Amino acid sequence: MRSRTVGLLALALATACGVLAACSLGLDEGLLDAASDSGPVTNVPETSTVVDGGSDAATSGLPTTCATDEDCVATNACLKGRCDLTRSACVFDVCKAAACNAGTCDQAAASCKDPKPYTLRTTTFKVGTPLACGRCIAAVHPYLFVGTTTGIVGYNVANPAGPAPVQVRGLGFAPTLMIASGSRVFLFGAPLGGGPPARMPFAWIDVPSDPFRTSFTVEDTLAGWDRPSGEGTGAFARGSDGALVYSGAAGLPAAAVASPPMLPVDFASYPTPTPPGHGLVSMSGTRFLVQAVDGTGAATFGFVPNAGTAQVSDAGLTVGAAPAMTGTVAAPQYFAQGPDGTVLWAYAQPNVPPATPGAVVRATRASFLVSGQAGPAAGASVDVEVYPAPPPLGTAVTGPIAALDADTALVVSAARESVATQVSVHFLRRQPLGLVPNADNQPRRAVLPIAIGTLVGAAGSNGIGYLAANEAATPQVPANASVYVFDPACAP
């Protein structure tokens, strides 16, 4: 999501953003009222993989952890298991036939029927209420969770063309941040009570391998937070299944979240020794990724190891120039985390250095900036959307970016056909680096008839991408949110 200036965050990040008007920092948007356990779900497609019979209890006999595909064998004929090595968890595809086809499981008979094809844009569905924040969507296959202004709703997305609602119980607050990390989803609320110390609404969902679950119970608590409540907070996935929460105050105090969390939960923060002129933009493994952009639009990156722990130090801090960029960086830019320490990056690129009079946006660009939790910031950037009629510098042309798996990312731009009223969705692949092509070797691309400013978040898991947009209320229709679902393996 784009940066929010909260409390003293501007001091910590002013130089890092430099000429940029937006950075992806994951800060909350202020206090939200407590919400019911789950919000309404409307207009979900009727076709669905899930049928009656799911429960909070895992499907009997299904393995959960794994090291190889052979560890994920199911007796149910509807299920074919494999091992997701990035989180060492079994994943079970439900009635999956050929690529871009999905069937329906008759659970009583444990048999599949009616495989049906789907396309690149598999479906779109309404949530029922707006999303509560720009990082209020999280996916751990085969489930998708969405934080709304009235609570949290869940979907079974084993069939990408037919999401089915699942009940989420036990959440006593409206989340301002949601993070998928490994097989766990973390939820954070705005800190309360002044302080220090303050109290932070905090919850988590452990997502099982069972693809027939129809309800979840959230683990919910008020965590101790050794910072004042008014500083603003952000959070990132940390390592393979943990999280890190940080303050927007100068010095970026940060606290690693135990995994799995143990009650009572207390977040003890440690200041972050960032290099001069750099501000926080993302996290890779247990390292903060920091960035600076100078007046010419040149970007540099650095890593702060062991962030959020007593071992954090500038002793191992490294700083280097942004790699393989053609030209310079301008606002807006977005960052996102992928599996195993990957960091994705999308940004606007001006035709000349941004301080030059008359500078315009030449293109949007994207990168697998960091590959792996020990790797450098060394990923080349590629053009995503090139503008034949370049918009003025500062125009909102980039949107949320999301990892769909270890090798594919969803990238959103304002569409070249109409920067103000349409968005384009592309898919970036790691090897060979470039945009996923169609049969004619042109980039695989979907155009949506919405303004880029309506987008509020993106998520991905198991190769499937989810893009959320908030829709403003009209005299005839209340405010709502739509989720667009994509499978980049499929033709448009």
In sequence order, the 6+-apart residues with CB closer than 8 A to the CB of 69 are 81, 82, 83
Report if residue 432 sits inside a domain.
yes
Do 255 and 244 form a contact (C-beta atoms < 8 A)? Answer: yes
Return the pLDDT at 286: 93
3-state DSSP of 222-257: EEEECCCHHHCEEEEEECCCEEEEEECCCCCCEEEE
Note the Cα 314 to chain centre separation in Å: 28
Do 370 and 336 form a contact (C-beta atoms < 8 A)? Answer: no
CB atoms closer than 10 angstroms to residue 311: 13
Report if residue 368 sits inside a domain.
yes
Give the chain's length. 492
Return the pLDDT at 389: 96
In sequence order, the 6+-apart residues with CB closer than 8 A to the CB of 145 are 137, 138, 139, 152, 153, 154, 155, 168, 178, 185, 205
3-state SS assignment for residue 449: coil
Report if residue 261 sits inside a domain.
no
Query: CB-hemisphere CA count at 13 Å for 306?
Result: 11
How many independent structural domains does the chain possess? 1
**Structural domain boundaries enclosing 357:** 322-492
**Site of tokens 């996923």:** 436
Return the pLDDT at 318: 57
Report if residue 484 sits inside a domain.
yes
Structure-model confidence comparison of residues 310 and 45, the more confident one? 310
Whether the ω angle into residue 115 lies within 30 degrees of 0, i.e. cis, is no
> Which pTM was predicted?
0.87
Range name among 22-26, 93-97, 134-138, 248-252 with the lowest pLDDT average: 22-26
Do 104 and 94 form a contact (C-beta atoms < 8 A)? Answer: no
Structure-model confidence comparison of residues 357 and 49, the more confident one? 357
Report if residue 394 sits inside a domain.
yes
Phi, psi of 239 (to 5 degrees): 65, -150
Q: Is 339 left (phi over 0), alpha (psi -120 to 50) or beta?
A: beta
pLDDT band per the 50, 70, 90 thresholds, residue 61: confident
Q: In the predicted model, what is the mean pLDDT of the chain?
A: 84
Return the pLDDT at 181: 95
Report if residue 418 sits inside a domain.
yes
Determine the Cα–Cα distance for residues 139 and 168; give it in Å rounded to an integer: 14
pLDDT band per the 50, 70, 90 thresholds, residue 320: low
Determine the Cα–Cα distance for residues 179 and 242; give it in Å rounded to an integer: 10
Determine the Cα–Cα distance for residues 427 and 410; give it in Å rounded to an integer: 5
Report if residue 355 sits inside a domain.
yes
How do 287-293 and 143-148 pair as beta strands?
unpaired
pLDDT band per the 50, 70, 90 thresholds, residue 113: confident
Report if residue 464 sits inside a domain.
yes
